[in-house]
Amino acid sequence: MREAFFLALALATGGAGAGWAETAVSAIGDAERGADIWIFCSGCHQIGPDAEIGIGPPLTGIFGRRAASVDGFPYSRSMTRAGRDGLTWTLETLDAYIENPRVLVSGTRMSFDGLEDAGERADLLAFLRVYSDKPSNIPEAAPTARADVPTLPPETLAIVGDRAYGEYLSSECTTCHQRDGSDKGIPSIVLWPEENFVLAMHAYRQKLRPHPVMQMMAGRLTDEEIAALAAYFGSLTP
């Protein structure tokens, strides 16, 4: 599936052909510029052969690794859940996580607001990739060439949700999620900032987030319906 996706991508961008594999690797980004960005990460994360657990988990070999899989690191409940659900760090998922960590993993403890600039993310990913021991597992494509996940045109984010419609639609959510925001085995979805809610639901709809129930539920919601749910759940009083 992923191979097919990247092949289609390569064809679409005209990058396919002899020598594509060699050139595409460097097209991820500039590892040297990435090292400058890494400074912001290194307060918490270590990388390299001797990296250990710090405030954050070591990032050596991060590509291809299951989320929340470093033994001994006290991951957040959300990250642990994402790992159990099958989240694996790839070029795509890392890029989305770095762009806005809470879109991919709602309750992550990583206190980093995200890196908006796609070029900077590409450079940082190129830097991280140097320290991954299985570069052959890395999809050979520029992260900036894939659709940014979740790809939301400004007009989608600008949709003003119909709260009343959201209230009706919410009844489908509250079969599992508690309306009072408590978490008894299924995460809270109330009082999220609307934009985060919208981005998270689109991440499920685009199957970037791994959970099959949520992929199915989000898969049949329209942009307007997602906005309506975000408006409703964002407005509940605790």
Partner 1 sequence: MTLNRRSFLGASLAAGAALSAPRAIGQARPRVVIVGGGAGGATAARYIAKDSQGAIDVTLIEPTRTYYTCFFSNLYLGGFRDFASIGHSYGALASGYGINVLHDWVIGVDRDARTVTTAAGHTLPYDRLIVSPGIDFVEGSVPGWDISAQNRMPHSWKAGSQTQLLKAQIEAMPEGGVFAMVAPPDPFRCPPGPYERVSMVAHVLKATNPTAKILILDPKASFSKQALFEEGWQRHYAGMVDRIGPDFGGANVSVNPEAMEVDIDGTVEKVDVCNVIPAQKAGRIAEIAGLTDDSGFCPIVPATMQSRMDETVFVLGDATIAGDMPKSGFSANSHAKVAAMQVRAALTGSTAFPAKYSNTCWSLIDTDDGVKVGASYAPTDEKIAKVDGFVSQTGEDAALRKATYEESVGWYAGITADMFG
For binding to partner 1 (CB under 8 A), which residues are involved?
Answer: 81, 83-86, 164-165, 167-169, 171-172, 174-180, 183-186, 212-213, 215-217, 219-220
Which tokens is 48 given? 């390299």
For residue 66, the cross-strand partners are 88
Please identify which residue in the block is written with the tokens 């070999």.
61
CA 31: distance to chain centroid?
21
How many Å from the N-terminal Cα to the C-terminal Cα in the chain?
42
Least spacing, CB of residue 46 vs partner 1, in Å: 26
Least spacing, CB of residue 175 vs partner 1, in Å: 5
For partner 1, the closer of residues 111 and 222 by Cβ is 222
For partner 1, the closer of residues 86 and 193 by Cβ is 86
Could you tell me if 10 and 141 are in contact, meaning their C-beta atoms sit under 8 angstroms apart? yes
Least spacing, CB of residue 120 vs partner 1, in Å: 34
Q: If you compute the radius of gyration of the chain from its CA atoms, what whole number of angstroms results? A: 19
Polymer length of the chain: 238
Least spacing, CB of residue 1 vs partner 1, in Å: 15
For partner 1, the closer of residues 128 and 218 by Cβ is 218
For partner 1, the closer of residues 30 and 224 by Cβ is 224
Least spacing, CB of residue 71 vs partner 1, in Å: 13
Which tokens is 212 given? 């099959």
User: CA–CA separation, 46 vs 147, rounded Å?
Assistant: 29
Which tokens is 218 given? 């989000």
Least spacing, CB of residue 67 vs partner 1, in Å: 11
User: CA–CA separation, 215 vs 15, rounded Å?
Assistant: 31
For partner 1, the closer of residues 122 and 217 by Cβ is 217
Which tokens is 140 given? 């050979």
User: CA–CA separation, 27 vs 41, rounded Å?
Assistant: 22
- CB atoms < 10 A from the CB of 73, how many? 13
For partner 1, the closer of residues 81 and 102 by Cβ is 81
Q: Among positive and negative, which fits the CA dihedral 140, 144, 147, 148?
A: positive
For partner 1, the closer of residues 82 and 126 by Cβ is 82
